[in-house]
Structure 1
Amino acid sequence: MRHRFIPGARGHVRPLTLLGDPVLRAPGAEVTDFGPELARLVEDMFATMYAARGVGLAAHQIGEPLRVFVYDCPDDDEVRHLGHVVNPRLVEADGVVLRGPEGCLSVPGLEAGTERYDRAVVEGRTVDGEPVRVEGTGWFARCLQHECDHLDGGLYVDRLDGWRQRKVMWQWRRRAPR
């Protein structure tokens, strides 16, 4: 019987970086070393994402301002998408713009209707340096765009209009860990 590798099984759960931490606002550095440290980081990211019950996680969210994200996210047809992208570039975001619920592990417990395209394409590398192209629709497209925003120092709250943004920020200030 062949045993399937489960991402994150050998990783360590790391503390999440929360809204207000400057690392979340820093543009991520390009990864140049595709060695064992990167593989460990990706494993830790999967372990942390699963422990927090997320569908995506950027390196920034565990305090590492590097251009890396992981995902385990369904699309609108419940097809599971599982993987990671190193040095991703959002090369296409198109289709219909939909406002849908969006939350973030760095702003736990809160969500808001956020506008995103319903199709996205990301290109980058694997932990081994191999080229990868990831295409997503629906919920998965939202995830890809969300994680790419993190790597540029952005959060979903930045995409909210006036009153939606004020509401989320007010709720965050009331709930944020001190």
Structure 2
Amino acid sequence: MVLPIVAYGDPVLRKKGKEIDKDYPKLDTLIENMFETMYGARGIGLAAPQVGFPIRLFLVDATPFHDDEDLTEDERAFVSDFKKVFINATILKEEGDEWAFNEGCLSIPDINEDVFRKSTITIEYYDENFKKHTDTFDGIVARIIQHEYDHIEGILFTDKLSALKKRFIKNKLTNISKGKIEPKYRMRFPLAKKKR
């Protein structure tokens, strides 16, 4: 089932997600619905807060980058089947040079900006079967994971922009929260005026 994506301005996007255990109600269904929602919105990552659940869960599918000409052959091979669920994740280390990449967010449609992030991360997490992993990722995969991880920490990519950039997009963000946009997927707007 496709869930509505929560728009910028909703308090759930600012909450630090709570850890869950394997008995979390209907977890399999939530994960399935999140993948369906992400694909329906043509996303490459989605965090539970973006569909209204303030928990430490996000998923990533980097396969759309398989055809990216900026990636090396090894990177393309790696992303070609990179699809993962991250539960109760903790980034243990961020290292390497910071590099800019033009990011967007399903909760903040029509805004894309360059964001600087470290190139390599080490992350501890559980998969959908509650098997524990500690993995190191770099490049575009690390970037996607960092973006989604920020969501479970209550952080948005727009928080990482300069004060000047934030001023430039302020009105756009207000319009998003009020629903004064035409998204290509189902959304829930926190400040939209109710129709009578």
TM-score by length of 1: 0.87
Divergent runs of 4+, >3 A: 33-36
User: Would you say how many aligned residue pairs link Structure 1 and Structure 2?
Assistant: 167
Partner of 2:29: 40
Structure 1 residues 17 and 34, CA gap change in structure 2 (3 angstroms):
same
Name the CA distance, whole Å, in 1 between partners of 2:136 and 2:83: 12
Distance apart, 1:134 and its partner CA: 3.7
Partner of 1:51: 40
Query: Does residue 92 of the first structure (1) align with residue 85 of the second (2)?
Result: no
Partner of 1:5: none
Aligned partners of 2:102 and 2:115 also within 8 Å = yes
Amino acid at match of 1:62: V
Rg larger in structure = 2
Partner of 1:166: 167
Query: Does residue 72 of the first structure (1) align with residue 61 of the second (2)?
Result: yes
Aligned partners of 2:108 and 2:176 also within 8 Å = no
Distance apart, 1:161 and its partner CA: 1.1
Structure of higher RCO (CA pairs closer than 8 Å, 6+ residues apart): 2
Distance apart, 1:174 and its partner CA: 4.1
SS at match of 2:62: strand
RMSD of the TM alignment (CA)? 1.7
Amino acid at match of 1:54: G
Name the CA distance, whole Å, in 1 between partners of 2:128 and 2:176: 36
Name the CA distance, whole Å, in 2 between partners of 1:127 and 1:54: 20
Q: Which deviates more, 161-170 or 89-98?
A: 161-170
Partner of 2:189: none
Name the CA distance, whole Å, in 1 between partners of 2:86 and 2:23: 12
Partner of 1:130: 131
Amino acid at match of 2:171: W
Amino acid at match of 1:90: I
Partner of 1:8: none
Aligned partners of 2:8 and 2:176 also within 8 Å = no
- Residues 9-59 of structure 1: CA distance to partner in whole angstroms, max 9, x if unpaired? xxx110001100000001101002346611111111111111111111000
- Specify every segment of 5 or more residues in structure 2 that has no aligned partner in the other structure, as ranges: 66-70, 180-191
Aligned partners of 1:34 and 1:127 also within 8 Å = no
Partner of 1:19: 8
Amino acid at match of 1:105: L
